[in-house]
Amino acid sequence: MVNATNSEFKQLKVAVIGGGLGGMAAAIALRRAGHIVSIYERRDFRLEVGASISCAANGGKWLREWGVDIDSGRPTHLMKLVMRDWDTGKILNNYSLEEYEESWGIVTLLHVPSVSREWFKKNANVCRVDMHEMLMQTATQEEGEGIPCSVVIDHIATACDAEAGTVTFANGETISADLIIGADGIRSAIRGLIGVTPDIKSANQTCYRCNVRREDIQKLGLMPDSTDPAIQFWGGYTKEGLSQYYKIVMSPCAGEEIVSFYCFMPTEMTNHTKEGFQFAEVPVEEMIKGDYSRLDPQCIGLLENSVDRMPWRLYVHQPYSHWTRGRVGVLGDAAHPMMPHQSQGACMAIEDAAALGLIFSKNYHFTRDVRKGLELYEAIRKPRATRVQAASARATENLNERIGFSSLSAPEKALAALENKLTVNEMNDYNMATHVAKEAPAFSL
C-alpha cells in the first residue's frame, strides 16, 4: 500500500553506524522523514581525511531538498573541464559547464574539502568548514524539520543481530534499534556482520592525493589559473610509452583557497598496501616518481610544494551478494565501493540515503515492516549503484568511459564501440521518487 495515512506511520528508532558523508546524509534523510536517529562513529572526527569531494546534480538536488546550507561548505561551482598534455601542459580541450544548472537545476559540480582538523590547526587562514561538517550541522542542529540527530563517538561495532536489531560495540555497550544502517565505509564491519564476503582484487592503478594552498601558488607564480573554477587533468591516455594509468586530476575547493590534486600511477610503482585513504603523510618523492619525471614542469612545481600528501590504495570490488538482512542495511562504500573515475562515490551514497528517506516516509507503510522496506531499498538502489560501480572500473582502463568530458578527445569510432557507456543525462535525469512509487506495490504487506 502506498500513500499511507499518518495513523499508519510509525516513528522509528534508527542507528546509523558510521558518521562519514554517507552516514550523515542518511541521518538527515531519516530525520526529515520523521525518525529518531543516533549516529555511532568509531573515531572522534579529528582524523577526517583531506581531499576534495565531487557532488554532481544527482547528489546536490537531495542536499537542496533536505535544506542543507550548501554555501556553508564554501563550494566551488565548477564552470569548465580542461584537458592538458602530460608532458607540456598544453590545453587539449576546454569544455564549458555553464549550461549545467539550466539543464539539471543545480550548479555543475561542488568540490568541497574534507581537510584534516590537524591540517587546519597549522594553517588557520584556510576555512575549516567542509562538506562533512556541513552535513553534520544539518543533521544535529535544532533548526529544520525533524528531531535533531545525536552523535556518539568512540563506538566500534563488533557484533550485530540483524533480526533482533541490536549492535554491540567494543566498549561492551549494546544498543537496539528498529532500523540499523551500516555506513561504516569500505572496510565496513556491519557488512561482514550481515554475512557479506567481499570479492576484491588490487586495481591496476593507485593514487596519491595532496593539496596546495592558494597563497603558495601566488608566491610561486606557478599556474595562476589553477585556482580557476575548473577541473583540470593531465594524462589518462597512452602516449609515447606513457601508461594510461598516469593521470592527474586537479580542482580548487574551499572557496578556491585550496587546490586539490589526485595523482594516479600504475600500482606497481607504489608500496602502500592498505585499501582506502591512509593517514600517514608521505614525502613528495614517493608521490612524484616513475613517469612523473616527464610531467608538465608547472604541475610538478605545484606538487613539490604540496601539503597533506596521502596514499590512497585502490581495489576493484565485485558487486556484493546482498545489502540487507533483517533490520540492517548498508549504504555508500559499505555497499558499493567503486573506483573514483566517474566522481560519483559521494553522489551514490547521497542517493542511497535519499532512497531510505523516501521508503521510510509517511507516504508508505514500510515503517510497519522494516524488513520489506529494506528489501525495496536494495531493489531500488543496487542495480543503479552497481552500474556506476562497473562504469567506474571500466574508466580505469579506458578514460573514454568517463562521463561527459573525456569523450571530447576520443575518436568517434572509439566512442561508438562503448555500447554501455554511462551518460550525464542518465545520472541527472533519474527520478528516484517516481522509481520508488513504481516499485513499492510489489513489496506490499
Model confidence over 3-27: pLDDT tens digits?
555 668 999 999 999 999 999 999 9
How many Å apart are CA 115 and CA 117, to the nearest integer? 7
> Could you tell me if residue 278 is inside a domain?
yes
Nearest to 5 by CA among 405, 367, 399: 367
Question: Does 262 share its domain with 338?
Answer: no
Is a pLDDT exceeding 60 seen at residue 224? yes
Average pLDDT, the chain: 86
Question: Does 336 share its domain with 439?
Answer: yes
pLDDT-wise least confident of 224-228, 278-282, 395-399, 405-409: 405-409
Q: Are 366 and 360 in contact (CB under 8 A)?
A: yes
How many Å apart are CA 436 and CA 323, to the nearest integer? 17
Is a pLDDT exceeding 60 seen at residue 112? no
Q: Are 234 and 218 in contact (CB under 8 A)?
A: no
Question: Does 190 share its domain with 209?
Answer: no
Quickly state the pLDDT bin for 405 (edges 50, 70, 90): low
> Could you tell me if residue 59 is inside a domain?
no
Q: What is the pLDDT of residue 332?
A: 97
Q: Are 186 and 49 in contact (CB under 8 A)?
A: no
Question: Does 38 share its domain with 183?
Answer: yes
Is a pLDDT exceeding 70 seen at residue 409? no
Q: What is the pLDDT of residue 127?
A: 32
CATH number, position 141: 3.50.50.60
> Could you tell me if residue 248 is inside a domain?
yes
Q: What is the pLDDT of residue 413?
A: 55
Structure letter (DSSP) for residue 320:
P
**∠ CA(422), CA(403), CA(224), 5° rounding?**
170
Q: What is the pLDDT of residue 73?
A: 78
Q: Are 262 and 249 in contact (CB under 8 A)?
A: yes
Q: What is the pLDDT of residue 12?
A: 98
Give the H/E segment covering residue 355: helix 345-359
Q: Are 187 and 276 in contact (CB under 8 A)?
A: yes
Question: Does 109 share its domain with 214?
Answer: yes
* Backbone phi and psi for residue 205, each to the nearest 5 degrees, phi listed first: -130, 145
Other CB atoms closer than 10 Å to residue 219's CB: what's the count? 10
How many Å apart are CA 55 and CA 53, to the nearest integer? 7
How many Å apart are CA 175 and CA 367, to the nearest integer? 19
Question: Does 293 share its domain with 208?
Answer: yes
Question: Does 12 share its domain with 37?
Answer: yes
Tens-digit pLDDT profile for residues 153-187: 999 999 999 999 999 999 999 999 999 999 999 99
Q: What is the pLDDT of residue 353?
A: 98
Q: Which residues of 377-403 are buried (b: 16+ CB within 10 A; e: fewer)?
A: bbbbbbebbbbbbbbbbbbbebbbbbb
What's the first-to-final CA gap in the chain, in angstroms? 7
> Could you tell me if residue 429 is inside a domain?
yes
Q: Which residue has the higher pLDDT, 117 or 309?
A: 309
Count structural domains, the chain. 2
Q: What is the pLDDT of residue 124?
A: 20
What does the chain come to in residues?
A: 445
Question: Does 232 share its domain with 96?
Answer: yes
How many Å apart are CA 405 and CA 84, to the nearest integer? 12
Question: Does 236 share its domain with 333?
Answer: no
Last residue within a domain, chosen from 313, 342, 359: 313
Q: Are 34 and 362 in contact (CB under 8 A)?
A: yes
Q: Are 54 and 111 in contact (CB under 8 A)?
A: yes
How many Å apart are CA 62 and CA 73, to the nearest integer? 15
Quickly state the pLDDT bin for 105 (edges 50, 70, 90): low
Q: Are 165 and 327 in contact (CB under 8 A)?
A: yes
Domain containing 242 equals 75-126+204-313
Q: What is the pLDDT of residue 397?
A: 92
Question: Does 213 share its domain with 149?
Answer: no
How many Å apart are CA 319 and CA 268, to the nearest integer? 25
Q: Which three cell numbers stand for residue 410?
A: 576520443
DSSP reduced 3-state for 243:
coil
Question: Does 372 share its domain with 224?
Answer: no
Residue 359 makes CB contacts below 8 A (sequence gap 6+) with 366, 373, 376, 377, 380, 436, 440
Q: Are 251 and 78 in contact (CB under 8 A)?
A: yes
Last residue within a domain, chosen from 266, 281, 313: 313
Helix axis angle, 370-397 to 345-359, nearest 10°: 160
Q: Which three cell numbers stand for residue 187?
A: 572496510
Percent of the chain with pLDDT over 70: 85
Last residue within a domain, chosen from 313, 333, 355: 313
Torsion of CA 166, 190, 144, 48, to 10 degrees: 130
